[in-house]
Amino acid sequence: SGANALATAVGKLYFGSATDNPELTDTTYMTYLNSSQHFGQITPENSMKWDATEPEVNTFTFTEGDQIADLAKSNGQILRGHNLVWYQQLPDWVTSNDYNATGLTAVIQNHIAGVAGHYKGQPYSWDVVNEPLNDDGSFRSDVFYDTLGESYISIALNAAHEADPNAKLYINEYNIEYTGTKSTAMQSLVTTLQADGVPIDGIGMESHFIVGEVPTTLVENFQAFADLGVEIAITELDIRMTLPETAALLEQQKQDFYTVVDACLQVSACKGITVWDWTDKYSWVPSTFSGQGAATPFDDPAFDGIVMAL
Ligand code: XIL
């Protein structure tokens, strides 16, 4: 049985994968990706980001995003929209036009109305704000924070709610999967947003882990978010190693995938698990972390770790 079939059988909403447009012509790859036994959910790895959807002011391009959205629809898969406001893959015009607070507010609102409005009704959830925090828990200095302070987060969430009232609105972040300063800061942000009446439904735990270093406090940490009344999702799971892969590393990785999937199963507020692509062939890891790879589960014993947990 496939991972999604198993995950839904134990009460999760989905087991899914990120995918990117160039991969959609790989027929072997597509045989797996199209199978809702394996994948009940997909996330566009790049094609709904700001640089892809609004490369010039108020000029929207949805061709590639639509390809992923249409694929999800025809496969009966849940779509996670990713992402609306992020400091990376941001077109130059957003930073170079020197917008003041009023101007940048309008830019954010117009972007979100354009993109989330275009896909209205289809995504289960949107990563509305991506990676807003530094590792010490402070807000990341970027064009949004530097111009608007933390108000950019509520501006974005409110705009997303207006554009697509039924989508679950998420903040997505890394290094908040375990207890500690950054996780606590994210919990404070959730509490503040809730107190201000800002729509916030979920927190995405990216989960780009390293073999042998998977956090031991996942369950306790997930539960802390659940206790605030938000749902969570594992949004970008991969577990990388320093190459070359060895039998020992692959065995540890299998344990590590088991640990992560099992943690999601232990917390009912954890809705689903998305791997950041399922085959090493298309993983972002080797080109991002020099000397590392073999991070995805489906071509390794790691897959058995997932099935064991489910
Ligand atoms: C990555 C993609 O996988 C790459 O193809 C792209 O070049 C850069 O972005 N956190 C996120 C994702 O939220 O959007 C990033 O995806 C990985 C880190």
DSSP state letters, 183-236: HHHHHHHHHHHHHTT----EEEE--EEETT---S-HHHHHHHHHHTT-EEEEEE
ipTM over 0.90: yes
pLDDT-based confidence at residue 124 (cuts at 50, 70, 90): very high
- Taking the CB of residue 236, how many other CB atoms lie within 10 A of it? 22
The SS3 call for residue 16 is strand
Peptide bond into 244 cis (omega under 30): yes
CATH for 3-309, options being 3.20.20.80, 3.40.50.10860, 3.40.50.1450, 3.40.50.300: 3.20.20.80
- Taking the CB of residue 57, how many other CB atoms lie within 10 A of it? 12
d(CA 45, ligand 1 centre) in Å: 6
**Average of per-residue pLDDT across 49-62:** 98
Identify the pLDDT of residue 24: 98
Identify the pLDDT of residue 288: 97
Q: What is the CA radius of gyration of the chain?
A: 19
Q: Whose CA is nearest to atom 3 of ligand 1?
A: 284
Atom of ligand 1 lying closest to residue 172 CA: 13
**Average of per-residue pLDDT across 212-231:** 98
Residue 78 has pLDDT above 90, yes or no: yes
Ligand 1 pocket test: pick from 45, 127, 176, 234 the residue with the most ligand atoms within 8 Å of its Cβ. 45
How far the first Cα of the chain sits from its last, in Å, is 11
Identify the pLDDT of residue 142: 98
Distance, CA of 176 to CA of 221 (rounded, Å): 8
- Of 56, 206, 236, 251, the active-site residue reads 236
Identify the pLDDT of residue 299: 87
Residue 1 has pLDDT above 90, yes or no: no
Atom of ligand 1 lying closest to residue 284 CA: 3
Identify the pLDDT of residue 254: 97
- Angstrom distances, CA of residue 162 to CA of 109, 116, 198: 10, 9, 12
Q: What is the DSSP letter of 23?
A: G
Active site annotation includes 236: yes
Backbone angles phi, psi at 168, to 5 degrees: -75, 130
Ranges of each domain in the chain: 3-309
- Residues within a 6 A CB radius of ligand 1: 45-46, 130, 172, 206, 236, 284
pLDDT tens digit sequence for 157-187: 999 999 999 999 999 999 999 999 999 999 9
Residue 205 has pLDDT above 90, yes or no: yes
d(CA 282, ligand 1 centre) in Å: 12
d(CA 196, ligand 1 centre) in Å: 31
Distance, CA of 266 to CA of 238 (rounded, Å): 19
Could you tell me whether strands 125-130 and 78-85 are parallel, antiparallel, or unpaired per DSSP bridges? parallel
d(CA 89, ligand 1 centre) in Å: 9
